[in-house]
Amino acid sequence: MNIATKPEIILTGDRATGPLHLGHYVGSLQQRVLLQSQHQQTILVADMQGLTDNAHNPAKVSSNILNVVADYLAVGIDPDQTTICLQSQLPALAELTMYYSNLVSIARLERNPTVKTEIQSKGFDRSIPAGFLTYPISQAADITAFNATLIPVGDDQLPMIEQTNEIVRKINHLANKKVLTECRPLLSNAPRLPSTDGKNKMSKTMGNTINLGASEQEISAAVKAMYTDPNHLRVQDPGQVEGNVVFTYLDAFHQDKNTVEQLKSQYRHGGLGDGTTKKILEECLQELLRPIRHKRAEYLNDKAQLLAILKRGSQTSKEQTEQTLLDVKAVFGLNIF
Share of the chain above pLDDT 90, in %: 77
| Mean pLDDT within 93-103 | 98
* Dihedral (CA of 207, 252, 299, 20) sign: negative
Is there a contact between 162 and 121 (Cβ–Cβ < 8 Å)?
Answer: no
**Ranges of each domain in the chain:** 3-194+303-331, 216-297
CATH dotted code for 3-194+303-331: 3.40.50.620
Q: 8 falls in which pLDDT band (50, 70, 90)?
A: confident
**Residues 9-54 pLDDT 10s:** 999 999 999 999 998 888 788 889 999 998 999 999 999 999 999 9
**Residues 127-164 pLDDT 10s:** 888 999 999 999 999 999 999 999 988 888 899 999 99
- Secondary structure of the chain as H, E, C letters: CCHHHCCCEEEEEEECCCCCEHHHHHHHHHHHHHHCCCCEEEEEEEHHHHHHHCCCCCHHHHCCHHHHHHHHHHHCCCCCCEEEEEHHHCHHHHHHHHHHHCCCCHHHHHHCHHHHHHHHHHCCHHHCCHHHHCHHHHHHHHHHHCCCCEEEECHHHHHHHHHHHHHHHHHHHHHCCCCCCCCEEEECCCCCCECCCCCCECCCCCCCCCECCCCHHHHHHHHHCCCCCCCCCCCCCCCCCCCCHHHHHHHHHCCCHHHHHHHHHHHHHCCCCHHHHHHHHHHHHHHHHHHHHHHHHHHHCCHHHHHHHHHHHHHHHHHHHHHHHHHHHHHCCCCCC
pLDDT over 70 (residue 108): yes
Tell me the whole-structure pTM to 2 decimals: 0.90
**Residues 247-275 pLDDT 10s:** 999 999 999 999 999 999 999 999 999 99
Could you tell me the maximum CA-CA distance found in the chain, to the nearest angstrom? Answer: 79
Q: 1 falls in which pLDDT band (50, 70, 90)?
A: very low
State in words which class domain 216-297 has: mainly alpha
Q: What is the mean pLDDT of the chain?
A: 91
Q: 109 falls in which pLDDT band (50, 70, 90)?
A: very high
- Alpha carbon distance 57, 64 (integer Å): 12
Share of the chain above pLDDT 70, in %: 95
| Mean pLDDT within 191-220 | 80
**pLDDT value at position 3?**
45
CA 112 and chain centroid, separation: 18
Higher-pLDDT residue of 165 and 125 is 165
**pLDDT value at position 239?**
95
**pLDDT value at position 281?**
97
Is there a contact between 219 and 289 (Cβ–Cβ < 8 Å)?
Answer: yes
**pLDDT value at position 278?**
97
pLDDT over 80 (residue 315): yes
| Mean pLDDT within 184-213 | 76
